[in-house]
Amino acid sequence: MPMAFVVMLAYGVGTAGVLLGAGLASESALRRWRGGGLRSAAWGMRVLGGTLLLLGLAALLGLDKWVETQAVRLLPGWVFMI
């Protein structure tokens, strides 16, 4: 049980660090690029729409199950004992 705590704590700290860094970087970038924000928003909406469309198609075709199977095959056994 202590090993699970250590793994989850490391995961949480790592995730929080990445999110904090991304938030700080995006804040400074938004301050610099404030003028072109509307053009960027339109581009971002297209990228998000395309990404969601691809993910939806992958789920409909069952590719998500294939990715999950490959991940389970590649992960070490101790991951599943947590």
Residues 33, 39 contacting (CB under 8 angstroms): no
Q: How many domains does the chain have?
A: 2
Q: Give me the domain span that covers residue 59.
A: 36-77
| 82 inside domain | no
Same domain flag for 24 and 48: no
Same domain flag for 28 and 40: no
pTM of the predicted protein model: 0.46
Cα 11 to chain center, whole Å? 13
Instruction: For the beta carbon of residue 15, count every other beta carbon within 10 angstroms.
Output: 10
Question: pLDDT tens per residue, the chain (82 residues)?
Answer: 788 899 899 999 999 999 998 988 888 777 777 766 666 678 888 999 999 999 999 999 999 899 999 988 998 888 888 7
Same domain flag for 45 and 67: yes
**What does the CA dihedral 77, 78, 81, 82 come to, rounded to 10 degrees?**
-140
Residues 64, 58 contacting (CB under 8 angstroms): yes
Residue 13 in 3-state DSSP?
A: helix
